[in-house]
Amino acid sequence: MQELTHWINGKHVKGTSGRFADVYNPATGEVQAKVPLATKAELDAAVADAAKAQVAWGATNPQKRGRVMMAMVGLINRDMDKLAEALSREHGKTIPDAKGDVQRGLEVIEFCINAAQMLKGEFTDSAGPGIDMYSMRQPLGVAAGITPFNFPAMIPLWKMGPALSCGNAFILKPSERDPSVPLMLAELFKEAGLPDGVLQVVNGDKESVDAILDNETVQAVGFVGSTPIAQYIYGRGCTNGKRVQCFGGAKNHMIIMPDADLDQAADALVGAGFGAAGERCMAISVAVPVGDKTADALIEKLVPRIEKLKVGPYTAGNDVDYGPVVTGAAKANILRLVESGVAQGAKLVVDGRGFKLQGYENGYFVGPHLFDNVTRDMDIYKTEIFGPVLSTVRAQSYEEALSYAMDHEYGNGTAIFTRDGDTARDFANRINIGMVGINVPIPVPLAYHTFGGWKKSGFGDLNQHGPDAFRFYTRTKTITTRWPSGIKEGGEFNFKAMD
């Protein structure tokens, strides 16, 4: 069985704790590797080495740092197939989904090529008599990222790229469920020209997380995961004086107006709700059709589309729409919530509870589920299920539909499908959610805009990627200058001239 490593000072290093986590193949339920779980001492040593390496890296011309990112883009494209296969093997998502995972991370690295432009300061000439004023953006020192299992390429790249481009050293603590791709990305960064020690990948669990949060050298922490853990990390990190950005759970609503193209809306809901087995923080998990006529027509279109979905292992190629969920515990939790929906009175229109895949009986496959007549008080409405389950909540008016999204505790993403520009504009202006789609089901911003949710989906003042990332990973220093003038012959100063 393969024993994975940490990535320390530019090379693979075995763990010394003696503790390991199992890495499963979600399609078969078999353990395929073991990943070491670092101690506080291992984490602290990695941070100390990173701090030493950061001094020279932070002093490196930002244009040269951008060239490392440029080389990284070429290497990721070269190894796209290899990265996608490794990602699918540990996570379970299909190869096209895995390539999409890598691609969205790659786009942030492309944006980071422009580091020199993003790090330019400001200058004011003659702010006062003979006084100039300017600002500069400087690296924090050592930053860290704690990233989730559902995007093991994209989110590490979202964190690593901007942090490194800004001149910081970076400590990555990836998910222990699928750690191979982050280690592969670290190898590519070295090949791209990143100096040893500037990027450290330390595998671990809560002990490593707490060590990051308590280490005085770590100046900033970024996290993506569940809301309870996001709140914990945000609270502990801020208490320890760190800059912290944390992104938590989601319950994304899609409102379908009576004038919407229902075929377009149904296709969008199937892709957004069931792609990647629903294990996406931007997945649409709640459909809100306005009016019973709209709801009935939408359900009629959804049912055959959902029933045709093909579930299977990534090795089946393009014949599969989505694969297994990541662990047996995740599967059990999804099915538990489905049972609660039935018990609490929701109508299970498409029932995937009995799904079995011949030859993969021990895999973590979950059939697709569609609920109708879901209400606010049901667990399947309140909870982020993180699985292939779509709930339909019927609204009788636009205002009622709007209230579902606005009143929910999560505020990550939302969408509206309509042909009416005035309605769409009103929705975009009024909704209290961070990312909004208009006839776009998964409104993930491109790399040169910022990604982040509101309410209990996001904690911290600055978002991921785009300009916010360069603000998050740097400090602004402002300098006010005045130079003496009026020097007399013989080198003596005329101090009166300075008054």
- Parallel/antiparallel/unpaired status of strands 6-8 and 11-13: antiparallel
DSSP letter for each residue of 193-220: TPPTTSEEE---SHHHHHHHHH-TTEEE
Choose among 125, 388, 106, 431: nearest CA to 253: 431
Query: Own/partner pairs for 132-136, CB < 8 Å, 24+ apart?
Result: 132/480, 132/481, 132/482, 133/478, 133/479, 133/480, 133/481, 134/478, 134/479, 134/481, 135/476, 135/477, 135/478, 135/479, 136/476, 136/477, 136/479
CB atoms within 10 A of CB 291: 17
Cβ partners under 8 Å of residue 311, min gap 6: 320, 321, 322, 323, 355, 357, 365, 366, 367, 368, 388
CB atoms within 10 A of CB 404: 18
Can you say whether the dihedral through the CA atoms of 468, 470, 472, 476 is positive or negative?
negative
Catalytic residue among 112, 166, 246, 281: 281
Query: Could you confirm whether 166 is annotated as catalytic?
Result: no
Choose among 91, 96, 68, 26: nearest CA to 162: 68
CB atoms within 10 A of CB 107: 19
DSSP letter for each residue of 145-207: EE--SS-TTHHHHHHHHHHHHTT-EEEEE--TTS-HHHHHHHHHHHHHTPPTTSEEE---SHH
Question: Any idea which residues carry the catalytic annotation?
Answer: 281
